[in-house]
Structure 1
């Protein structure tokens, strides 16, 4: 158990990760890939025959990371171009990549929030300005949680991804606060907690699996659930 060292009075705003912090991401991606594959069966049958599983579609998407390093921070572009490559390899029309991606993207926004996510976001937004800070391509308004946020920042828009300090500093600038007055919350030890600390923020690591902290310097606090985060921050309430 990592001893909390949060300076609660110093917190004047919160940034929070999305995927695997507010909802589990892989069930969503797997379902979106299955919907995409079914669409290809109907509209791009040669591609569906060549890539007969969601695993095959994911493999070509992962291959695109190496082929197009310029797109590494833009998950939508990576997915769209991987679909285009699959279509052209199979001899189908590459222009089908646009409607195929749009279908995938719409399904990707149909997330299932963790049970305590809405209550946590309501708690946070009643006390602080909240900014979504994600390397992914979830749209907080399409997901249905936009009302809780002042801003939403993504790696695709900024051109840099967590743990790069610039994405954290961009959030602080939007909030018109120095980084030391911002608390970041996220599930990834490196991308979220360590990245935020290196950028001068306080950090809470969401660690429901109770994994070991991999670095020497611990985060300011570790919680096993979003509800625990609310309890921790509530200690600073008047």
Structure 2
């Protein structure tokens, strides 16, 4: 059971906790493809081939392991490689990535997300903890958060305990003071438990809990979390 009395701060995952990520990525990839059609048609043709894209991603994973926590750099370098292989100017990769990244920030929040964040931020300091590359400033949610910790900037991602400890440190708290909220059973909930935090698993898809150790709260949405903390 959730020990509400111990909660002094809250860390929150972003993708698939506050908004659905795959519709966002699909729109961003379409914007990138449309830009390539206009500016680098040979690379656009390469990007339209699932097999070619998969080979590029596999190649990047092997050749640039140091970028595994930096999704922005991986995406940019994959575009650069596709441009090079297509015989087009790889220097266009930065501009092409900017098109993708701008659209990636146009998220559509779950209906419960903004009211819940406003409720929580009025009662606890909040810190975002994400393995992704969402920009809270560009999305418009930054005023609700005390800090944001990303795997890209920190160098390691969830479920590594160090990123959870960094989130607690950003709030000047110990992990035991912090409740972590997220949608991924392993990366978020189990990762937070192993880091010494309480955990609330947001299970929007009616999935089965896959681990022996259970989080303190299993919830269908963020509104239920607010009700628990009222």
TM-score range, shorter chain: over 0.9
- CA distance in structure 1 between the aligned counterparts of 2:229 and 2:206, rounded to whole angstroms: 20
Cα drift, residue 139 of structure 1:
0.4
**1:71 equivalent in alignment to 2:41:** no
Number of the residue aligned with 1:187: 183
2:152 maps to what in 1?
156
Is the Cα contact below 8 Å between 1:37 and 1:53 reproduced in 2?
Answer: no
Instruction: Give the conservation status (yes or no) of the 8 Å contact 2:46–2:53.
Output: no
CA distance in 1, matches of 2:51, 2:16: 20
* C-alpha distance after superposition, 1:103-122 (max 9, x if no partner): 10000000000011110000
- Alignment-derived partner of residue 201 in structure 2: 205
| Corresponding position of 1:106 | 102
Give the equivalent residue in structure 1 for 2:82. 86
In structure 1, the partner of 2:118 is: 122
Q: Which runs of 5+ in 2 are unaligned?
A: none
Contact 1:183 1:204 in 2 (8 A): yes
For residues 54 and 44 of structure 1, the distance between their equivalents in structure 2, rounded to whole angstroms, comes to 18
TM-score, normalised by the number of residues in structure 1: 0.93
1:15–1:164: structure 2 CA closer, same or farther, 3 Å change rule?
same
Change (3 A) 1:53 1:147: farther
Q: Distance in 2 between matches of 1:65 and 1:138?
A: 21
Q: Which residue of 2 aligns with 1:52?
A: 48
CA distance in 1, matches of 2:175, 2:203: 23
Contact 1:162/1:192 (CA < 8 Å) preserved in 2? yes
1:61 to partner: Cα distance: 3.6
Answer yes or no: is 1:97 the counterpart of 2:93.
Answer: yes
Q: Give unmatched runs, 5+ long, in structure 1.
A: none
1:63-89, Cα deviation, whole Å (9 max, x unpaired): 422331110000000000000011001
1:117-138 CA distance string (max 9 Å, x none): 1100001100000000000000
The 5 Å alignment of 1:27-38 reads 27-38=23-34
- The TM-score with structure 2 as length reference comes to 0.96
**CA shift digits 1:169-199 (9 cap, x unpaired):** 0111111111001000000000000000000
Deviation at 1:212, TM superposition (A): 1.1
Deviates more, 1:210-219 or 1:184-193: 210-219
CA–CA distance in structure 2, aligned partners of residues 188 and 201 of structure 1: 15
Provide the secondary structure at the position in 1 that maps to 2:19: coil
The whole-number CA distance in structure 1 between the counterparts of 2:51 and 2:106 is: 20
| 1:7 counterpart residue number | 3
Q: 1:229 aligns with which of 215, 225, 228?
A: 225
- Return the alpha-carbon distance in structure 1 between the equivalents of residues 69 and 94 of structure 2: 19
